Amino acid sequence: MGEVAKRFSVSVDQDLCMGSGYCVHAYPGLFGLDSDGIAELLQGDPPQPVGGGPMVLGPDQVGAVRKASDTCPAAAIHIQVDL
Amino acid sequence: MTLPRESVDTCPVLPEGGACAASGSDQPVVGQDEPPTGRVNPWSRLKRDPFLPTRMQVLALARALNGHGRPGPLPPGPKGLPVVGSVLSLRRDPYEFFRQSAAEYGDIYRVPMPLYDMIIVQHPDFVSHFMDEPTGRYSMVGPARFLPSLIGAAIPMLEGDKFRQRRRMMMPLFGRRHLARVADTLADEFVDRIDRWSRWAGRGEIIDLQHEISQVTLPAFLRAMFSSSITQQEIRETDIDLRTFLGLIAAGTFMAPLPNLIPLPGRQSAPRSMLRLALLVRRLVNQRRSEPTETPDLLNLLLDARYDDGSPLSERDLVMELIILMAGGYETVVASLSWTLAHLLVHPDHLAKLYDEIEALGGLTPTPADLPRLTWAKACFDEGQRLQGHPLNPRFAMEDDVIGGYHIPQFSMVGVSLYSVHRDPRWWPEPDRYDPARFTDEALVKARPRLAFMPFGSGPHHCIGSGMAYMNAQFLLTIMFQRYRLTLPKGWAPEHKFAFSSTVKAGLPVTLARV
């Protein structure tokens, strides 16, 4: 499939984010809200904010991020494929 | 009346061949009609129900004639009257009609209507199936696709590529960062207009606060959108025109009366309103074209917006988009804030908590930086929106589909009643009670499906202005309660009125006192 070799990364366009918080509620380990109520990415354990990204994803995170991207009302969550 | 969802654990009686998905109480309940047993002879059905042909929707008849065969097992639902179906009960009370139907028929049911049926879903999983569909297979305008090209196309009427491009053009204006830029303009106008309420304060005079809120929000939005001041006369007219415009759309669902269609001198009518509205917007557009500005307001953004191929919005689309944004922007906030106050004002404990939160701002005009501190105000507003609800949020299936085991033929109308979902006892214990803590208690929020609460819809057509709505609601509640204490008459209870938005019937009778 070639799917295995691909690396995925995610970014949040913070100019588009309308702060609806859907991603934060669904995946609190991956997304957080900054002090302005704008979504930001979280990395590591315990999760630390890393801003809008891009942030490389583990293979087990891709599905969750894709769902978050689909439900984001501002279409602000982008997934890139790094070849 | 039986509540099918209560007996879910014991797996309900299902139509033959229906999959029993009910392993837990939060699983979709498949409807429980009498089990269909193969094809019934049409003549024997006709003998039982001589009005049978009038109950068939045009779509089903057309499919029977053009060789698609007779419709398969239909979802259960009310039988309705010959020809008109359930229109009369729907008109009487569209809110409770859907709530009772869901209680009686389960998570997917069919409502007979003249010409077409409606398939209504109640379970959040089914709702997500059609609302979150990203490819435009479920459309907001459906078979009326020709209409936008005649009257101008705005975002809600578009699907697919064109929709995505247009939405991308407008999105930056509704992002949290841009909102911070218009926040001062909005707050400034709110303060100015709410200060004028002092003429009623302490006099015991009952005023209709729902109307007064509209006279605050409309000019504020017009200023944020067009950066020009509009006369008092124009504000009054625009208020009427936008309501007429929304009433016209609402009438299309058979749930609201039709506005006057024939323009006679001396009375308001739909054609007159539409013309006046279009002229106002065109005048503002032309004015801006002749005197360009650098202000980052909505008008400039739309004038500068380009499709991927570099072409601008057509004049017709521009006007329609602006009208839709005006209508969607202010009338909705007026209605939901009125519902919030209608419940909040009779709960002294919730109010006291809100006063404390507002007190912490020290009497200063709120800014976007204060929003994260106004969490109780936001929860009060959300709980108001929950109980406000909307009778119906529909889409048209543009292709054949299957929901909950039932075949959904192309061009079927599939919808969800937000009012009914927002009062579903599976997600909302004591559903009719006003309790903002439902939105501040993280454990409660997490325990519900996301779409148990969806005042802004979901999926690609999710309200673009939800961030704006929260900011406005939080600002307005703060500015109001920094100045006044509001009281409702004893024993008064709000009733729903469907006018595209769900407003408070006959307004919000309030007396004001100064803090």
> What are the DSSP E strand ranges found in B377-469?
393-397, 401-403, 406-408, 413-416
| A55 vs B373: CA distance, rounded Å | 29
Kindly state the average pLDDT of the residues B478-485: 97
For B13-54, write each residue's pLDDT tens digit: 333 333 333 334 455 555 455 555 566 666 777 787 777 777
Adjacent-strand bridge partners of A78? A11
* Lowest mean pLDDT, pick from A70-74, B152-156, B357-361, B444-448: B152-156
Are the Cβ atoms of A36 and B167 closer than 8 angstroms? no
CATH class of A7-82: alpha beta
Closest Cα in chain B to A74 = B171
Of A20, A70, A71, the CB nearest to B467: A20
Q: How many CB atoms lie within 10 A of CB B91?
A: 15
Taking the CA of residue A41 and the nearest CA in chain B, the distance in Å comes to: 16
CATH topology of domain B162-391+432-514: Cytochrome p450 (1.10.630)
Q: Is B12 on the interface with A (CB under 8 A)?
A: no
- Domain definitions of chain B by residue range: 4-115, 162-391+432-514
Partner-chain contact B174 A22, CB within 8 Å: no
Task: Tally Cβ neighbours within 10 Å of residue B350.
Answer: 19
Predicted confidence at residue B292, as pLDDT, reads 92
Distance CA B410, CA B412 (A): 6
B180 touches chain A (CB under 8 A): yes
Maximum average pLDDT range among B85-89, B152-156, B228-232: B85-89
pLDDT per residue over A5-57, tens digit each?
678 999 999 888 888 888 888 888 899 988 778 899 998 878 888 888 788 88
Cβ A16–B171 below 8 Å, yes or no?
yes
Q: What confidence tens digit (pLDDT) does each residue in B407-418 have?
A: 888 888 999 999
What was the ipTM of the complex prediction? 0.80
The answer to whether the pTM exceeds 0.90 is: no
Buried b (16+ CB within 10 A) or exposed e, B389-411: bbbbbbbbbbeebebbbbebbbb
Task: Name chain A contacts of B168, Cβ cutoff 8 Å.
Answer: 75
DSSP 8-state code for residue B306: B
- SS3 assignment, position A40: strand
To the nearest whole Å, the CA of A59 is away from the closest chain B CA by 24
Q: Is the pLDDT of residue B329 over 70?
A: yes
CA distance A19 to B386: 19
At residue B475's C-alpha, the angle toward residues B471 and B480, to 5°, is 155
Token pair in block for residue B188: 């400034």
